[in-house]
Amino acid sequence: MSTDRGSFGTPGTGDTSGYGGLVRKTSATGSTERPYGGYFDEMADELERAYPEFNEDIERVVMDRGELTLHVKASRLKHVAQVMRDTPSLRFELCLGVSGAHYPQDTNRELHCVYPLLSMTHNRRVRLEVSVPDSHPHVPSLVEVWAGNNWQERETFDMFGIIFDGHPGLTRILMPDDWIGHPQRKDYPLGGIPVEYKGATVPPPSERRSYK
């Protein structure tokens, strides 16, 4: 059991920016038991048939709020992705990119990558997710599987510091090349510059309230 306090603010400071005042209890979940409902059971059966290492390389399968997520070992991500794309009964032709996430409390799995997939042939959706430690933030690039992931892997690298091995040109895409740090990580320090409005000065975020 853990506690979520929203995406903004610092516990104990009274900060109410964003929704930092939101507090809810969360619990880690294992794999969801079947049946998943809808087309998800048939899709899972097809994947198990096409990918004999399913039970070894898929760490868990989670059904939550109408979405099925396959948590894949990072080292096997590319292999699973190729099966998802090339198997006729699955045929996930489109990856809608990759989103990064940072969970500092998730020891040895602090950095997550989420890949929403769409099968236009079968009109189905599923998500792949991998987790890697902050100390070794390496994930295989999927540009060779879905070329459209090129710039989105660069953005995730830029914002979270996740290194996509095999990417053809993994450079920053939003921040300057010499920028220090990765701005969407939760341990990234708030900064900014003062802004002047007709003689009045608004201090940068790091000086407006206590962030520790």
Q: Which domains does the chain have, with CATH numbers?
A: 39-178 (3.30.460.80)
* pLDDT in the model for residue 190: 74
In the predicted model, residues of the chain with pLDDT beneath 70 are: 1-29, 191-199, 201-212
Cα–Cα separations (whole angstroms), residue 167 to 32, 98, 115, 121, 128: 33, 13, 16, 28, 19
For 108: left if phi > 0, alpha if psi spans -120 to 50, otherwise beta; the answer is left
* pLDDT in the model for residue 209: 56
| pTM beyond 0.95 | no
Please write the tens of the pLDDT for every residue from 157-184. 999 999 999 999 999 999 989 888 999 9
